[in-house]
């Protein structure tokens, strides 16, 4: 009896070994593989898997950290647009030369502009400066303001006011008659003509300060036309 039990145990162990080793798989009697090789067939795109060394992982982590650091934005320097004019050809030439030689790094441009006709209340043309000075004394006595004309076809003479229209000049002349002026008349000071406006599109505080210094030097030659913020 003991021998039979030992024999059956030996046969059972042999069958278990054959079953677990896959020797009976051709008869459909096989166990699941211990290494679960069937899972390899279930992988999706295994060729995309890349094994990186530890150092590479640390480098990648540092790069990702660097990407989240916010970009440092340079401060915006405030600027302003200035313009001046309208200038005639002679004045524009003076101004261009000053900008080129004294402010070579400055951005500027000239824009074509129409200059409307001007009308003047005029006294003269006198034969000499002595006669002009006599008229000046008479105007001072009746407290009438005037401007001495020192150049152009109306010199030597006196301007009692410049006006945008002939109508405005005639109205001013009538008022001067009431004040005692007798020899003044209305003349066209300048006809309609083309002019130029200076535009400086983007000036910071330092550039604006330099411009004011240079521009002030030539103010008289430019008709005392002031710099203004662009409209």
Q: Is the pLDDT of residue 185 over 60?
A: yes
Q: Is the pLDDT of residue 116 over 70?
A: yes
Shared domain check, 183 and 154: yes
CA 168 to centroid of chain Cα atoms: 41
pLDDT at 159: 95
pLDDT at 47: 66
CATH classification at residue 199: 3.30.70
Domain count of the fold of the chain: 2
Q: Is the pLDDT of residue 126 over 80?
A: yes
Shared domain check, 148 and 205: no
Shared domain check, 107 and 199: yes
Q: What is the CA radius of gyration of the chain?
A: 50
Shared domain check, 104 and 157: no
pLDDT tens digits for range 32-51: 554 555 565 666 666 666 66
Shared domain check, 126 and 110: no
Count CB-CB contacts under 10 A for residue 201.
Answer: 13
pLDDT at 170: 96
Average pLDDT of the chain, as a whole number: 81
β-sheet bridge partners, residue 118? 190
Residue 172's domain comprises 118-190
Taking alpha carbons only, the member of 151, 150, 88, 149 closest to residue 122 is: 149
> What tokens does 119 get?
């009308």
Q: Is the pLDDT of residue 19 over 80?
A: no
Tell me if 33 is assigned to some domain: no
In sequence order, what are the residues at sequence separation of 6 or more whose Cβ sits closer than 8 angstroms to the Cβ of residue 208? 80, 82
Query: Is residue 118 exposed (0-12), middle (13-18) or buried (19+ Cβ within 10 Å)?
Result: middle
Lowest mean pLDDT among 23-27, 109-113, 155-159: 23-27
Shared domain check, 180 and 87: no
Lowest mean pLDDT among 101-115, 144-158, 168-182, 209-223: 209-223
Residue 189 contacts residue 162 (beta carbons within 8 Å): yes
Tell me if 10 is assigned to some domain: no
Highest-pLDDT range among 2-16, 181-195, 205-219: 181-195
Q: Is the pLDDT of residue 230 over 70?
A: yes
Q: What secondary structure letter does DSSP report for 173?
A: H
Residue 31 contacts residue 19 (beta carbons within 8 Å): yes
pLDDT at 166: 94
What's the whole-number mean pLDDT along residues 150-160?
89
Shared domain check, 93 and 153: no
How far are the Cα atoms of 63, 64, 69, 75, 97 from residue 72, in angstroms, in the given order?
18, 18, 9, 9, 41
Shared domain check, 199 and 110: yes
Is 0.85 topped by the overall pTM?
A: no
Tell me if 21 is assigned to some domain: no
Q: Is the pLDDT of residue 10 over 90?
A: no
Instruction: Map 135-151 to HEC letters.
Output: HHHHHHHCCCCCEEECC
Count CB-CB contacts under 10 A for residue 139.
Answer: 19
Tell me if 1 is assigned to some domain: no
Tell me if 56 is assigned to some domain: no
Q: Is the pLDDT of residue 183 over 70?
A: yes
> What tokens does 91 get?
């004045």
């Amino acid at each position: 009896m003991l021998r039979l039990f030992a024999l059956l145990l030996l046969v059972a162990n042999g069958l278990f070994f054959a079953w677990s080793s896959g020797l009976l798989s051709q008869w459909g009697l096989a166990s699941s593989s211990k290494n679960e090789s069937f899972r390899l067939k279930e992988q999706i795109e295994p060729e995309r898997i890349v094994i990186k060394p530890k150092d590479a992982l640390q480098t990648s982590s540092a790069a990702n950290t660097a990407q989240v650091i916010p970009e440092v934005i340079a401060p915006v320097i405030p600027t302003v647009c200035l313009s001046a004019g309208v200038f005639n050809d002679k004045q524009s030439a003076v101004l261009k030369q000053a900008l080129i030689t004294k402010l070579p790094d400055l951005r500027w441009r000239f824009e074509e502009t129409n200059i409307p006709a001007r009308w003047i209340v005029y006294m003269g043309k006198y034969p000499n400066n002595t006669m002009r000075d006599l008229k000046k004394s008479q105007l001072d006595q009746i407290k009438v303001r005037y401007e001495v004309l020192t150049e152009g076809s109306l010199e030597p003479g006196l301007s009692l006011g410049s006006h945008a229209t002939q109508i405005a000049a005639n109205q001013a002349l009538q008022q001067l008659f009431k004040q005692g002026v007798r020899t003044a008349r209305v003349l066209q000071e300048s006809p309609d003509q083309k002019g130029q406006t200076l535009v400086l599109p983007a000036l910071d505080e330092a550039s604006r300060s330099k411009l004011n210094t240079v521009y002030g030097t030539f103010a008289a030659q430019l008709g005392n036309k002031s710099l203004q913020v662009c409209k």
